[in-house]
Structure 1
Amino acid sequence: MTLLVLGLSGPVLATGPAHAAGPDIGRPADAPLRAAFDAAAQRYDVPRDLLVALGYAETRLDGHGGQPSASNGYGIMHLTSNPQVRTLDEAATLTRLDRQTLRTDPAANVTGAAAVLRSYADRAGLTAAQRADIDHWYGPIVRYGGANGPALDRLYADTVYDLLASGLTAPGTGLAVQARPVTPERGELAGVAAPGTGDVGTMSTDYGPAAWVPASTSNYTVSSRPSSYRINYIVIHVTQGSYSSAINWFQNPAAQVSAHYTFRSSDGAVTQSVREKDIAWHAGNWTYNTQSIGIEHEGYVDNPAWFTDTMYRASAALTRTLADRYGIPKDRTRIIGHNQVPGATHTDPGPNWNWNYYMQLVTGSGSTTGTGTVNTEGSSLNVRSGPGTGYSIVGSVADGAVVTIYCQTTGTTVTGTYGTSNIWDRIGTGRYISDAYVLTGHDGFIPGGPRC
């Protein structure tokens, strides 16, 4: 057995040396973004935590270097300009900031979103007392999302309020939202079922676990596959946006794009937008469109945090079902990324997509979990709610304990018993420990093991 030489930014022991420098919540380098949210919330009388939760739902507070999402949204607040959603244009009018600044400057982006939300609150007739109650902002949040219909309206706004209920921490930003009880004023949406929820709703007739939210008929071609075209490929995509925004974009007649299925990062929920018999416009190559099923995954290609173990498993279950149904070989010649389609101009799913793990799940080969032994030389090891020292402590494991590692990811760097490492091991739902204190028998990531 080899010792792990992996890491984090200082030990995460419940007792022992202090943390070394790392992206912990509250460090001075994090102050500008915190200050931007505080200032925008105060200026426009919008609840600060609501703004943070909205940005996290849209982008996980990652501006992606000013590059647009698939639906032409920009910045950490996803200010958007397309034929259906014009929050970027509204922000420019309300703040008198130019569009380039709103697209690329984080503080301006937050300010623009706050201005737009306040304008929606005013149009909804919210009084000062109602603005102080976060539950009254459900309607303005719905309007900010600009969804196509009640089911997606409910999905979009519920995502924000679910984050308020559960709380969140965004390492490297200095931002956190404490969990709280929420009872949003949903109004006429109270009786509407959101896609992918446990409520009664329209489900897919092609794939049992999927909700059904059809794309605009302007965005796909009606067909009679597999009799009209043999289905030979499954194409893996990344949305470059949120789950709800991708499904909503497929419903926009101006999009001229669609996919058969879309998966959510947090829980692996799936929505179908185009019937398998029909031709979705996803590959950028007509021949491949006619012969393939397109599967989108919530996230951005440059941020591996979106590619959760739950989403990998849920997506692989669908891919395995499709391969069996249509006789598609379960290999990388027929299960391909968008970037492998001839003539493709897209790079998704990108270098952070773990093809080895995904194909193991599809084929049922290889180990999908690992084990490790905690070695802290006598102290208890902190269990964090996420992969980093900036996340809250949610428990501890004893020295010498054997843990099941469900997946591994990267986070802040820690120096521990086995050296310095930025690898974190997920040992349960929302439970992570530093791999610098865990003996797995391997240097680096567990070979063939799952990535979170």
Structure 2
Amino acid sequence: MPALATAALLLPLLGAAPSAAGPSGAPPAPDRLQRAFAAAAAEYDVPQSVLLGVSYLQSRWDAHAGAPSVTGGYGPLHLTDARTALAGASSHHSEGTEDPRGDDARAPLHPAPPVLRSAELPARLTTLPRAAELTGLSPEALRTDPAANVSGGAALLAAAQRDLGEPLSADPADWYGAVARFSGAEDSATAAAYANDVFEVIRAGGRRTTDAGQRVALAARPDVEPDVSQLQGAGLRAASAAGTECPPTVSCEWIPAPYEEFGDGDYGNHDLGDRPASQRIRYIVVHDTEGAWNGVLNMVQDPTYVSWNYTLRSTDGHIAQHVKAKDVAWHAGNWYVNAKSIGLEHEGFLAEPDAWYTEAMYRSSARLVRYLAKKYDIPLDRQHIIGHDNVPGTTTATIPGMHTDPGPYWDWRHYFQLLGRPFEPTAGKNSGLVTIRPDYARNGPVYTGCVTRGEPCAPHGSSAVRLYSDHDLNAPLIRDIGLGTAPTTGVNDLSSRVSTGQQYAVADRWGDWTAIWYLGQKAWFHNPERSPAAVPASGRVITAREGLESVPVYGRAYPEKSAYPAGVPAQTVSPLPYRLPKGQKYVVGEKVPGEYYYAVTFDEASHRVVTGEDMYYEIQFGHRVAYVRAADVTLSALR
């Protein structure tokens, strides 16, 4: 791995998270977890550095107050107890009213998920019961007591070492095979990628304060060179990355989505293309699956369903690629964005109370995104690395049905640290722009509706910051007229929410409050100096051209009517219900040509990329991005 990439991936290990109270409300002794690692290492004859390295890759040493991860993993060692609840799967692509293809030229696509076969849970999802057998500790203790959880992890590592016929050595270099087995991976490539990450952590060392206020340190061991030959005796199947477009630093397999006809001229589940020669790839869209790994893979292989480019597994970061980057997957609900994006589905659930993603998946995703961004010249910023929840509706009618994943619990700040592009101040204190950047662990706005409509979700860190109509926590929330409903604190309600990394022009300040221009309104968020929710920034903004009271806002940048050749129906350039009033400023992502990819038949000979003379600016308009015609606005720099 290049030195720069390694540094980027290890950066968060060296940072410190804020202290937080334990489940009882009173913080435990701040060294209790460190002592638990030492005790478990001694009891089970596992090097403490190995135990700490594995735990960091699973959870960054966090306990998550005993709450499960998105795949039913618990505690610092992510011991899994998924049970049969995760054997099935649904998908957000078949929920709600969003058309994943998002193209008016073709009938709306609202796929039903295929019937899923029940299957026995893989061993990687049942490590907690096995740890209970090995330690004699109860499953409840392993789920809720971090010290017990650490003991369970140590017992699993020691059992793996014995199964491999290796000694319980004090030298961490002798534990490569056991670490690879601990990953739960079924193939050698995934297990090796996981083990390599653990040993990178061991070599770098570091310290961190966890989500429960525990101070944990790992002494650097830069000289450790593990015995990678142990992997040969681990009993794992060989895996091939043939056909994939992945960096060598991740494990990747090719599980193709079908390009097939299935009657009445219909076909699925993507379109063939010639990107980037025919049109630039401008976006990477981050999704969560709203389903478990095996079921989701069944769906993407169904020609009557929809598609995305990659799926990432939570337990170990393994990647499956389904659609080549040159082709256009149906995933974002906006055809303009689909035609210019690569979609990444991450195993997880937006509204699961206290659900969390593993460090292994975050790292694997970051490596993949860095690779794709470099290959296709995609800027590493929040105007180009976007969530599904940042994709705009194509027309007024589609706005309410657009999706909201990966949601407020995706840690954008940590993700961009792993990408090597942390969100840092780029201007002075009273700058005219801000980058949203709350402290994820301390920032815990109350959301509702995770389990029961209107009922509060479990407390959880969040990347999102809430917006008010005045500098007062009791003021009404900002309203999104496109949704047609009153704003709420619902976990899926994006009306009054900004997210980490997004940038906005400052409209006003009042004490500990900052106002930004948002959806044509002045929107306030609490931004105290002692615990800021944003940092100063500089950048480019647009304003309505002189003489115009307001300008229309679009959900896609389509060409003018005269640009369409014979045989390609002109697409309506439909403004959204919003207006950009004069005097307001909005941050620019980039200037783009009006462009439309005509692909509504299985025969790709009829496919065309139509490019017009009209130019647009992509802007951060609300929680989602939007587009304005360049002729309607004036571009300037702001600090």
Please, what TM-score do these two structures have when normalized by structure 2? 0.39
Matches within 5 A, 1:390-405: none
**Deviation string, structure 1 residues 380-399 (Cα, Å, up to 9, x no partner):** xxxxxxxxxxxxxxxxxxxx
Which residue of structure 2 lines up, in the alignment, with residue 110 of structure 1? 150
Write the letter of the residue equivalent to 1:106.
P
Secondary structure of the equivalent of 2:253? coil
Write the letter of the residue equivalent to 1:176.
A
2:178 is equivalent to residue 140 of structure 1: yes
Write the letter of the residue equivalent to 1:185.
D
Matches within 5 A, 1:6-405: 29-81=29-81, 83-84=121-122, 85=124, 86-127=126-167, 130-171=168-209, 172-180=213-221, 181-187=223-229, 189=231, 202=241, 213-214=252-253, 221=258, 225-227=270-272, 235-237=285-287, 256=298, 260-261=309-310, 273-276=321-324, 293-295=342-344, 315=369, 318=372, 336-337=387-388, 342=401, 347-348=406-407, 350=409, 352-353=411-412, 370=426
Aligned pair partner of 2:535 in 441, 445, 448: 445
CA 1:106–1:320 in 2, change beyond 3 Å: closer, same or farther? same
CA 1:50–1:295 in 2, change beyond 3 Å: closer, same or farther? same
Given that residues 260 and 295 in structure 1 are in contact (C-alpha distance below 8 angstroms), is that contact kept between their aligned partners in structure 2?
yes
Residue 144 of structure 1: CA displacement? 0.7
CA 1:335–1:185 in 2, change beyond 3 Å: closer, same or farther? closer
Secondary structure of the equivalent of 2:165? coil
Write the letter of the residue equivalent to 1:66.
G
Residue 179 of structure 1: CA displacement? 1.2
Given that residues 202 and 212 in structure 1 are in contact (C-alpha distance below 8 angstroms), is that contact kept between their aligned partners in structure 2?
yes
CA 1:104–1:309 in 2, change beyond 3 Å: closer, same or farther? closer
CA 1:150–1:215 in 2, change beyond 3 Å: closer, same or farther? same
CA 1:304–1:214 in 2, change beyond 3 Å: closer, same or farther? closer
Secondary structure of the equivalent of 2:199? helix
Given that residues 204 and 272 in structure 1 are in contact (C-alpha distance below 8 angstroms), is that contact kept between their aligned partners in structure 2?
no
Write the letter of the residue equivalent to 2:321.
S
Secondary structure of the equivalent of 1:151? helix
**Deviation string, structure 1 residues 253-310 (Cα, Å, up to 9, x no partner):** 786577634799xxxx996622237898988x9x999987422579999899979999
Residue 76 of structure 1: CA displacement? 1.2
Query: Structure 1, unaligned stretches of length 5 or more?
Result: 1-21, 191-200, 241-245, 325-329, 374-407, 410-435, 437-441
Question: Which piece of structure 1 moves more, 67-76 or 309-318?
Answer: 309-318
Query: Structure 2, unaligned stretches of length 5 or more?
Result: 1-17, 20-26, 83-120, 233-239, 260-267, 276-280, 301-307, 394-400, 430-499, 502-528, 540-639
Secondary structure of the equivalent of 1:29? coil
Q: Which has the higher contact order (CA 8 A, sep 6+)?
A: 1
Residue 33 of structure 1: CA displacement? 0.8
Q: Distance in 2 between matches of 1:313 and 1:254?
A: 22
Secondary structure of the equivalent of 2:207? strand
Residue 233 of structure 1: CA displacement? 8.4
Write the letter of the residue equivalent to 2:227.
E
CA 1:64–1:221 in 2, change beyond 3 Å: closer, same or farther? farther
Given that residues 427 and 536 in structure 2 are in contact (C-alpha distance below 8 angstroms), is that contact kept between their aligned partners in structure 1?
no
Q: Distance in 2 between matches of 1:289 and 1:101?
A: 47
- Greater C-alpha radius of gyration: 2
CA 1:111–1:343 in 2, change beyond 3 Å: closer, same or farther? farther
Given that residues 40 and 150 in structure 2 are in contact (C-alpha distance below 8 angstroms), is that contact kept between their aligned partners in structure 1?
yes
Residue 66 of structure 1: CA displacement? 2.8
Residue 160 of structure 1: CA displacement? 0.9
Q: Distance in 2 between matches of 1:304 and 1:318?
A: 22
CA 1:288–1:64 in 2, change beyond 3 Å: closer, same or farther? farther
Q: How many residues align?
A: 323
CA 1:166–1:213 in 2, change beyond 3 Å: closer, same or farther? same
RMSD over equivalenced CA pairs, Å: 5.8
Given that residues 286 and 388 in structure 2 are in contact (C-alpha distance below 8 angstroms), is that contact kept between their aligned partners in structure 1?
yes
Q: Distance in 1 between matches of 2:538 and 2:363?
A: 13
